[in-house]
Amino acid sequence: MKVGLIRHFEVDCPIPGISKLMTPEQFRQWLQEYETSDIKYDNFEANMMRWDKCYSSDLPRALKTAQKIYSGHIIATKELRELVICPPTDRNIKLPILLWLTLGRMAWMLSHKSQIESKLMFQERVKYILEEFILKDDQEVLIVSHGFLMMFLRKELLKLGFKGPNFRKADNAKVYIFEK
């Protein structure tokens, strides 16, 4: 059995520079803009791997990527969505976007009440994705998803006896193949 993990194509939404300071509300607005931005198609090299099934996050950037690289029926699901990061405070302070992202991830790691999904809930979702959707059939499965989620999918696949590449941050539009 093979499972291919691919991070969506690059999103056409630049991250504001370090000198650009944002309030929590401006950070939320940028996150919304990122969610609805189009993708850049120019950096994909198709491999000749044949996939029996393709699962994709239902977010536009992942679904558009799946439609570009897979010609069959795509099973879109919210279960493959990226972790939503929220500002850990609503205080009217201005911080660089990278600091907001870092603080949001730290708040998530500590299961802070500001985050929509706790770390435990997220980890359970990853297990559910693999056990209930992906690994029920002994087929070649392509999963189009998001960078942070892919790190956890990789970890779980390795726990289940798959062999595959190591990555700290998944590259956009690169297929990482795991075999069992």
Looking at residue 159, what is its pLDDT?
Answer: 94
Question: 2-179, superfamily in CATH?
Answer: Phosphoglycerate mutase-like (3.40.50.1240)
Among 127, 3, 11, which Cα is nearest to 55's? 3
Q: Which residue has the higher pLDDT, 101 or 19?
A: 101
Look at residue 45 in the predicted model and tell me its pLDDT. Answer: 65
| Whole-prediction pTM | 0.90
Q: Are 21 and 99 in contact (CB under 8 A)?
A: no
Tell me the helix, strand and coil percentages in the chain, rounded to 5: 40, 20, 45
Task: Please answer whether residues 91 and 42 qualify as being in contact, where contact means their C-beta atoms are separated by less than 8 angstroms.
Answer: no
Q: Domains of the chain: which residue ranges?
A: 2-179
Report pLDDT digits (tens) over 63-120: 999 999 998 999 999 999 999 999 999 999 999 999 999 999 999 999 999 999 999 9
Token pair of 68 as six digits = 């570009």
Residue 142 pLDDT exceeds 80: yes
CA-closest candidate to residue 64, choices 97, 105, 35: 35
pLDDT attached to residue 97: 93
> In which band, very low, low, confident or very high, does the pLDDT at 14 lie, cut at 50, 70 and 90?
confident
Is the confidence at residue 32, as pLDDT, over 90? yes
The chain-wide mean pLDDT, for the chain, equals 92
